[in-house]
């Protein structure tokens, strides 16, 4: 069949001076990867422009095209009579759509079966998430009791990718730009049927106090807004973004508010909140801002953006100490005895945060010795 198609393509180009463009296909069923080849009528012009088209002219099919279709239909009938496989062909547009939907369902089912998530006690159906800039990816651990499993992840660091793949059993893609380009070309559309959440925390140095405060003009700061575009292209029901609170201190928080506008313009309901790690089981004083965007059709009736975050409350931990983060038996030469400068006790009334009680040497970043926290 491929030989017949190639022969006719060459003959057609030689006689008419019109050439066709080959597009990559995926799966053994030859499900076409780009929307133009899939005959996506509703989005044809928008997708064609992404491929470089600038003008659209309606013309009738050339006689050569009609003849080609007739001859291929005859060849297809011959193959079927001979008992040869013809699963890569479709007689109608409706058949193309049906096969694409079947393929997407099989892909989602295969991903769920491969990762073998533990079924939650309430028998909730499994659902998938995509992890951007995945790192250690605490999302995998957080969603497991809820039936969630990783569909895909990406990270520029080779070690991170290797560890993520070993832990999840799912392939981890490389740097952001390659994933972004693939999404724009439609190669990630197969993820949509199984994806509930896209969670991402792009690099923070260009917004953090310890960084250079260059914002979106920095080396990685621009990824904050680029990642908005990727999320909107993937179009999951829920998007979760995380960033250091320093983003509000750069250009008056312009990058953060621009992200909110991007999601709202894409039709999402958007909410955001600052969360403190020590109030959620992590014995640190980190503060991070989380942005959540949800498709309106996925929100329970009577709920709105203000319901996307529950009240935070105070910490669930009784105490936070550096000692809890250290090895039980420190190596020789790493113990301090007489170099600690103990600080006067401070009033902890109505305070649930870490309390500095001593320093080593000149202090500064990394110089704090012991912290503890009294609950409010």
For the stretch 250-284, pLDDT in tens is 999 999 999 999 999 999 999 999 998 878 777 77
The rounded distance, in Å, linking the Cα atoms of 10 and 372 is 77
- Side-chain-facing half-sphere of 169: CA atoms under 13 Å: 9
Whole-number mean pLDDT of the chain? Answer: 78
Nearest to 238 by CA among 154, 167, 170, 139: 139
pLDDT tens, position by position, 133-179: 998 888 888 888 888 989 999 999 999 998 888 888 888 999 999 99
**Quick one: fold of 108-307?**
Rossmann fold (3.40.50)
pTM of this structure:
0.58
- CA–CA dist 261, 268 (Å, integer): 10
Torsion angle of C-alpha atoms 33, 35, 39, 45, degrees rounded to 10: -150
Query: Structural domain boundaries of the chain?
Result: 2-96, 108-307, 322-372
Instruction: Determine contact, residues 161/209, Cβ cutoff 8 Å.
Output: no
Give the pLDDT score at 319. 61
Residue 215 near residue 262 (C-beta atoms within 8 A)? no
Pairing of strands 269-276, 287-294: antiparallel
* Burial track 232-246 (b if 16+ CB lie within 10 A, e otherwise): bebbbbbbbbebbbb
Task: Kindly report the number of other CB atoms within 10 A of residue 223's CB atom.
Answer: 23
Burial class of 128 by CB neighbour count within 10 A (0 to 12, 13 to 18, 19+): buried
Listed as ranges, residues in the chain with pLDDT below 70 are: 1-2, 20-41, 84-124, 316-327, 335-339, 348-355, 361-376
Rounded to whole angstroms, what are the CA distances from 302 to 264, 298, 305, 306, 366?
Answer: 19, 12, 11, 11, 48
């Amino acid at each position: 069949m491929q030989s017949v198609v190639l022969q006719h393509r060459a003959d057609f180009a030689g006689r008419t001076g019109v050439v066709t463009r080959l597009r990559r296909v995926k799966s053994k069923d030859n499900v076409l990867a780009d929307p133009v080849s899939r005959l996506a009528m509703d989005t044809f012009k928008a997708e064609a422009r992404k491929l470089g088209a600038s003008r659209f002219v309606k013309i009738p099919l050339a006689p050569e095209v009609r003849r080609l279709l007739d001859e291929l239909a005859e060849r297809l009938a011959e193959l079927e009579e001979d008992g040869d496989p013809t699963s890569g062909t479709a007689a109608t547009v409706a058949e193309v759509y049906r096969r694409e939907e079947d393929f997407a369902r099989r892909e989602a089912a295969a991903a769920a079966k491969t990762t073998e998530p533990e079924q939650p006690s309430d028998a909730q159906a499994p659902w998938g998430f995509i992890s951007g800039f995945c790192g250690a990816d605490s999302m995998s651990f957080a969603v497991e009791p809820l039936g969630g499993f990783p569909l895909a992840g990406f990270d520029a660091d080779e070690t991170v990718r290797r560890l993520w793949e070993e832990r999840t059993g799912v392939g981890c893609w490389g740097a952001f730009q390659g994933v972004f380009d693939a999404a724009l070309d439609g190669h990630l559309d197969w993820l949509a049927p199984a994806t509930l959440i896209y969670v991402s925390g792009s690099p923070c140095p260009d917004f953090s106090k310890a960084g250079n405060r260059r914002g979106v003009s920095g080396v990685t700061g621009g990824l904050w807004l680029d990642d908005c575009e990727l999320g909107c292209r993937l179009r999951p029901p829920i998007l979760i973004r995380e960033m250091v609170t320093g983003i509000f201190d750069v250009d008056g928080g312009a990058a953060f508010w621009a992200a909110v506008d991007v999601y709202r313009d894409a039709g999402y309901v958007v909410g955001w909140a600052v969360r403190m790690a020590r109030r959620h089981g992590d014995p640190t004083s980190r503060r991070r801002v989380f942005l959540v965007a949800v498709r309106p059709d996925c929100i329970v009736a009577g709920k709105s953006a203000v319901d996307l975050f529950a009240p935070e409350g105070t910490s669930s931990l009784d105490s936070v100490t550096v000692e809890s983060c250290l090895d039980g038996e420190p190596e020789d030469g790493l113990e301090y005895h007489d170099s600690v400068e103990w600080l006067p006790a401070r009033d902890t009334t109505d305070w649930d945060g870490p309390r500095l009680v001593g320093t080593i040497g000149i202090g500064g970043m990394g110089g704090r010795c012991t912290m503890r926290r009294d609950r409010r």
